[in-house]
Structure 1
Amino acid sequence: MAWYDNFFSGLVQEAWKAAQTDEQTELEADFLNDVLELQPGQRVLDVFCGYGRHALELARLGYSVTGVDISGESIRDLQKTAQRQKLAIDAHAGDFLSIPLEGGFNGAYCLGNSFSFFPHDQMLLFLQKIAGLLAPGGWFVADTAMIAESVLPDFQERSWMQVGDITFLMENEYDARESCITSHLTYLRMEQTEHRESRHYVYTIAELHRLFRQAGLLITEQFGNLDGSDYQLGDDRLLVLARKK
């Protein structure tokens, strides 16, 4: 069982939702709309869609969206919202690496930092599945804050933040042999306490280029911000744009 199979529930979900603003979601959806070069009615795949904040925005623009997430709780939320708003969203709960999907997507994306969940062998399988599901010439966007050039120069062993009425504490350990950050997480609200552990695998940008090429995807752009600026060493996030060969 992967660490993320039972991670996304309870205070974790509540804190994540509270941390996402409508403005940020709109900016990210606009970015996807620009770079994926989709036409209304075309199919787009949201990988690790969560409760569907991007899927909902893109469906409102007229795209046919398929979302996949490991969290049944999130998928149920998305299905209810899509049904209520009469939006073309097909939402699936399950492990993206094993869930069967019909290919031919015109675009795909993975936003929200879930892209860093996989060690090298599984990352290659993940990218190969993305490539296999895309139509020829289809675009894929991946978003990560766990790129080596971003996280290692200012690695923090401990941090905390307040999200609404939830306090979120993080203690990090870096395993250089595996290029993996293990995080011990504590969520606190009033007398309620929940503990989690997560693992994020750290890649250099050059490693990503090699993995993408091996999977049949060619990275054409690497952005450091939603405004389309080029990635610079130390930027908080990396957004890569890749095309199926």
Structure 2
Amino acid sequence: MQKETNSWYASWFDTPYYHILYKDRDYEEAQLFMDNLTGYLNLPKDAKILDLACGKGRHSIYLNQLGYDVTGADLSENSIEEARKYSNEKLHFKVHDMRKPMPEKYDAIFNLFTSFGYFENDEDNVMTLKAMCSSLNEYGFGVIDFMNVHHVIKNLVPRETKTVEGIVFHIRRHVINNYIFKEIDFEDKGEKFHFTERVKVLTLEDFESMMEDSGIYLLDIFGDYRLKKFYKDESERLILIFK
């Protein structure tokens, strides 16, 4: 039986296979980024941080270990259920649609690891930006950690096979109609699966335009997790600081 859905992020992120495929993400790199980012923002010791599209909470958990009051929010109920195992009085997790503002205000809102640009409608991306901004307090900062699409497209690997926990994932990548697609096929327990990741090709200029239309002030731009300068053709990341 072939399993697929139109709302790719709602289905793929909610499966155990998503977490299996990406189980070897670099936690040291993620922690270095959080150290550099919180240092750059000079957040107060008891700052309230929202980790928006937090997945199973790897960034949230580390930020809480640094002493911050952290809320992790994600659309995936399975991911939030897993993340809640790490909850404490200063670490909370909730199911939430990033297009909607949060009821509370935060000192910082982080949207990390290319957790933006999933929607078919461009207006939903603008809604997400506006929701982030409206959930910041007067002195708060928003952060989007997105891929540098110029670098990604230039270095796109069309086909790849990865074996993780005995499952062979066949991965194909291509660019169509201003979206980067990743097609993922695999078989487990005699059943065939197909999932698609699709992320909008958003350049720095696209973000600048959306932010200008939304009344958002772009403060700074970085090109990697060490917060080095952004170079259009070289940088791996596009990290935006705004308020």
Instruction: Give me the TM-score of the superposition, normalised by structure 2.
Output: 0.86
Query: What is the total number of aligned residue pairs between the two structures?
Result: 235
For 1:93 and 1:125, how far apart are their aligned partners in 2? 18
For 1:237 and 1:189, how far apart are their aligned partners in 2? 33
Q: Which amino acid in structure 2 is aligned with residue 10 of structure 1?
A: P
Equivalent residue number for residue 111 of structure 1: 112
CA offsets, 1:66-91, max 9 Å, x none? 11111111111111112xxx351221
Q: How has the CA–CA distance of structure 1 residues 238 and 164 changed in structure 2, closer, same or farther, with 3 Å as cutoff?
A: farther
Note the 1:138-177 alignment, pairs <5 A. Answer: 138-145=140-147, 147-163=148-164, 165-176=166-177
Unaligned regions of 5+ residues in structure 1, if any?
none
For 1:144 and 1:193, how far apart are their aligned partners in 2? 31
For 2:186 and 2:39, how far apart are their aligned partners in 1? 36
Q: Percent identity?
A: 23
2:130 corresponds to which of 125, 128, 137: 128
Alignment RMSD: 2.2
Q: Which deviates further from its counterpart, 180-189 or 65-74? A: 180-189
Q: Which deviates further from its counterpart, 110-119 or 126-135? A: 110-119
Q: How has the CA–CA distance of structure 1 residues 35 and 102 changed in structure 2, closer, same or farther, with 3 Å as cutoff?
A: farther
Unaligned regions of 5+ residues in structure 2, if any?
1-5
Per-residue deviation, 1:205: 0.9
Note the 1:49-68 alignment, pairs <5 A. Answer: 49-68=54-73
Asked if structure 2 preserves the Cα contact closer than 8 Å seen for 1:78 and 1:91, the reply is yes
CA offsets, 1:80-109, max 9 Å, x none? 112xxx3512211132224x6223211011
Per-residue deviation, 1:148: 3.2
Q: Which deviates further from its counterpart, 134-143 or 157-166? A: 157-166
Note the 1:1-245 alignment, pairs <5 A. Answer: 2-8=7-13, 9-16=15-22, 18-82=23-87, 86-98=88-100, 101-118=102-119, 119-145=121-147, 147-163=148-164, 165-176=166-177, 179-187=178-186, 193-232=192-231, 233-242=233-242, 244=243
Q: How has the CA–CA distance of structure 1 residues 37 and 189 changed in structure 2, closer, same or farther, with 3 Å as cutoff?
A: farther
Q: Which amino acid in structure 2 is aligned with residue 63 of structure 1?
A: Y
For 2:156 and 2:26, how far apart are their aligned partners in 1? 26
Per-residue deviation, 1:162: 4.3
Q: How has the CA–CA distance of structure 1 residues 75 and 184 changed in structure 2, closer, same or farther, with 3 Å as cutoff?
A: same
Instruction: Give me the TM-score of the superposition, normalised by structure 1.
Output: 0.85
Per-residue deviation, 1:192: 6.6
Asked if structure 2 preserves the Cα contact closer than 8 Å seen for 1:151 and 1:234, the reply is no
Asked if structure 1 preserves the Cα contact closer than 8 Å seen for 2:52 and 2:73, the reply is yes
For 1:169 and 1:212, how far apart are their aligned partners in 2? 37
Asked if structure 1 preserves the Cα contact closer than 8 Å seen for 2:48 and 2:68, the reply is yes
Q: Which amino acid in structure 2 is aligned with residue 150 of structure 1?
A: H
